Chains A and B, each alone.
Chain A
Amino acid sequence: MSDIVVSSRVRLARNYEDLPFRGKISAQQCEECISRTLSALRELPEAYTYLPMQGMESNEKKVLMESHLISPDLLREEEGAAVLVRTDEKIAVMMNEEDHLRIQAFAPGDRLPEAAQNAFSLDDTLQKQLSFAFDSQLGYLTACPTNTGTGMRASMMLHLPMLTLFKQMGKVGQLAAKVGLTLRGIYGEGSEAQGNLYQLSNQVTLGRTEEELTQAVTATARQMAEMERVFRERAWEKDPVAFEDQLFRSFGLLTNARRMNVKEFMAHWSNLRLGAAMEKLPVHTEACDALLTAAQPAHVLKAMGSALKASEADTYRCDIIRRAIRGGN
């Protein structure tokens, strides 16, 4: 189902029993939180990279955020905040964000159980050696009481261009709310969802098991994907030439433009992803998804290196896009 579900993600919030939460923690206790976590992870065969926020270059932090390895909240933190990233980037552990630990696991496409399993196995490793704050009634205790219980947020990133175009998102959002889930735009601010990308996730964390939550998110995501497919088919059948025209115009711009800002890129990227998913354009969805991250502002700046001026970023973005789509040239 990678035609519509771009990626799956699971986050677990955990806190050490004996350390104060973020609002009351001292610098020394932040260090303690980090050193405990680091030493517990030494047990694992997989390698993790330890990245403290303090002293990290601001663009480097933004790169991590664009890759969804850290949250905007962690980006703003300095002292004591850090992230551990597994070398394959499928797991990241934020430390001293709102909670002591935020374990995050990622999987491409519609693979929420796989992401959940990875998060659980890391949670198990940590719990074998360390004690997390837990209450038999309220579950895992978190800084904000809205996260107690499982401490889990299961989410899926969905690409819904046709539901957006045909103004169905209000209805789709209600469908999510009805089953206790929430749907919001990922890129862009306010009600605008750049790239027609949405994140579907659970809001309630207490009183449902992790499996119930992942199942609810998966089932609803699949329902939304089915709706999106219906609208894709309908739009195609109504006027195939107009449909292809849109796709190929975006393809043409992406492969020929010489200066493009991120907002314009996102609009055309959506058509590129749609064309790839419907097998109308000569590009794979995997390449589209990799490009989505690679063409974000901080990634472009990083790829440019210091030899180029920041004002050339929109031009360099076009190089990145062409390379991703055509594999060179």
Chain B
Amino acid sequence: MLCEECGQRQAEVVMTTVINGESTTRHLCRECLKKYKAGDLQAVLAAVLSAMAEKKQTPDITCPRCGETYAEFQKTGLLGCAECYTAFRRELTPLITRVQGRAQHAGRRPPVSEEEQARQTQMEALRAQMEAAVAEENFEEAARLRDALRALSAAKEMKA
């Protein structure tokens, strides 16, 4: 099997990481293991990116906002602006998951605006009403509420 880090060399070592009782197992080659031990994720990322560049795996994408190309990112390991995360999302997500081990943020978030808070309260109310409608077998009403919920949640995603 190939190393899960660089995807280039043969994996020779199994590394198990335990964080707060949760363990992840990764198959690595010796080169990548060394970088891991040194604890430098930027070095790991740089290695993955240069391995990709060597294999000419450079997607032809440019960030519409700052003009950064994927090739530039492969060279520097740095993104040009927040929008790059959207422009390169398809390529970045597996890369980030590989380096970070996870793909879903946990932890602090920016404060929610009053508008957003109102929307969330409204959604919770709709959800409760929908569940009540289902319990009463009032399916017509439940469907109407479900559509209202969908519209609200779509509006939120558009904003985000």
Contact = CB atoms under 8 A, between A and B. Distances in A.
A165 B100 CA distance: 33
A21 to B, nearest CB: 6
Contacts of B82: 15, 17, 21, 133, 141
Contacts of B160: 136
B18 interface: yes
24 contacts: A22-B78, A23-B76, A24-B81, A136-B160, A141-B85, A144-B78, A145-B77, A145-B95, A148-B96, A148-B105, A150-B108, A174-B37, A177-B17, A177-B36, A178-B16, A178-B17, A180-B17, A182-B38, A182-B39, A182-B40, A203-B40, A205-B100, A207-B105, A212-B19
A137 B104 contact: yes
Nearest to B67: A24
Interface in B33-54: 36-42, 44-45
Contacts of B42: 144, 146
A24 B100 contact: no
Interface in B109-134: 109-111
Interface residues of A, number: 56
Given A123-B108, A207-B105, A145 B39 contact: no
Nearest to B82: A133
Contacts of A210: 107-108
Contacts of B100: 146, 148-149, 204-207
Contact of B45 (A132, A141, A145, A173): A145
Nearest to B76: A23
Contacts of A176: 39
Contacts of B71: none
B79 A145 contact: yes
Given A145-B96, A182-B40, A207-B100, A212 B20 contact: yes
A215 B21 CA distance: 12
A21 B79 contact: yes
Contact of A144 (B37, B45, B67, B107): B45
Nearest to A152: B107
Interface of A: 15, 17, 19-24, 98, 120, 123-124, 127-128, 131-141, 143-146, 148-150, 152, 173-174, 176-184, 201, 203-210, 212, 215-216
B126 to A, nearest CB: 21
A17 to B, nearest CB: 6
Given A133-B82, A209-B106, A210-B107, A145 B76 contact: no
> Which 10 interchain pairs have the tightest Cβ spacing?
A182-B39, A207-B102, A139-B105, A133-B82, A146-B41, A209-B107, A24-B80, A206-B100, A20-B81, A24-B66
Contacts of A181: 39
Given A177-B39, A212-B20, A135 B78 contact: no
B101 interface: yes
B110 A131 contact: yes
Contacts of A22: 78
A149 B102 CA distance: 10
